Structure 1
């Protein structure tokens, strides 16, 4: 094989490797939401970094102030507003047939379990089944049917 043939083969091989690497992150490069589920949470992270989770029957508390009724959804959608419940009917953040597992869409593994990072948001499984999401300078954590924001 002459020098031109070797260069062409090397360039084609490099292109194939770059293409293969790009396919693993195709979901994260998409401008649509990234859906996932873990435990009772079915969540979506949107391209603008907003996070929403369906969490039926959870209690919500703000540090020392409990919300006096259970919530079914929690969102982080504004940098000036803490994580808060929404009250739309249905399951806004759950795809028909449920979302893929956090383990299937994870972008890495933390100390206690997998995490996913997308559009500046990070959600992760934690110690003894806890779950945390942060985005836009805000966060919420859930453990034992209580969400703390």
Structure 2
């Protein structure tokens, strides 16, 4: 009987170690290299390994820059260089959208901030904000989408 209990204990111990190893290898949100895709409202976004963050906006959205007196409409916005403000993406198609759409921000979140979920990856951070706003920052640059206008 004691021998049977030892065998059962050994089997259960091995199963627990295996489960722990599987959890460790798959439970880290962004352990594998590659883009992190998510959506926030009508924006499908991705954060790339180099910290570039871009979003397919789902249609033309007015973007207001502090240094321009008028808005500029964009279908895609990206932060790709520290010396350049958030700007339109020239990539063809919808490069920040997975076939079938991106998972919700809450499904890939790194944590929860004061107003909602956020994702941090490769030095970039995108987060849900106050009253439905959405902000992304990377490389010392940022933009915020609120009330139908992006401020960059």
Q: TM-score range by the shorter chain?
A: 0.7 to 0.9
Shift of 1:142: 0.7
Partner of 2:53 in structure 1? 51
TM-aligned CA distance change 1:48 to 1:58, over 3 Å: same
* SS of corresponding position for 1:17: helix
Distance 1:68 1:31 in 2: 36
CA contact (8 A) 1:59 1:67 kept: no
Q: Please tell me whether Structure 1 or Structure 2 has the larger radius of gyration of its CA atoms.
A: 2
TM-score, scaled relative to structure 2? 0.83
Give 1:16 shift: 3.9
Judging changes above 3 Å, is the alpha-carbon distance between structure 1 residues 68 and 48 closer, same or farther for their aligned structure 2 residues? same
Give the Cα–Cα distance (whole angstroms) in 2 for the partners of residues 58 and 97 of structure 1.
22
TM-score (norm 1): 0.84
Q: Please give the alpha-carbon distance, in whole angstroms, between the structure 1 residues aligned to 2:91 and 2:17.
A: 49
Q: CA deviation at 1:36?
A: 0.3
Match of 2:146 in 1: 143
- Give RMSD over aligned pairs: 2.4
Note the residue ranges of structure 1 that are not aligned, 5 or more in a row. Answer: none
User: What secondary structure sits across from 1:116 in the alignment?
Assistant: strand
Q: Give the aligned partner of residue 29 of structure 1.
A: 31
Question: Residues 1-20 of structure 1 correspond to what in structure 2 (within 5 A)?
Answer: 13=16, 16-20=19-23
SS of equivalent residue, structure 1 residue 20:
helix
Unaligned runs of 5+ residues in structure 2 are none
**2:111 counterpart (99, 108, 111):** 108
Aligned CA distance change for structure 1 residues 66 and 145 (closer, same or farther; 3 Å): farther
- The change in CA–CA distance for 1:66 and 1:72 in structure 2 (over 3 A counts) is farther
Aligned equivalents of 1:17 and 1:66: distance in 2? 57
Corresponding position of 1:95: 98
Q: Take 1:127 and 1:68, find their aligned partners in 2: how far apart are those partners?
A: 23
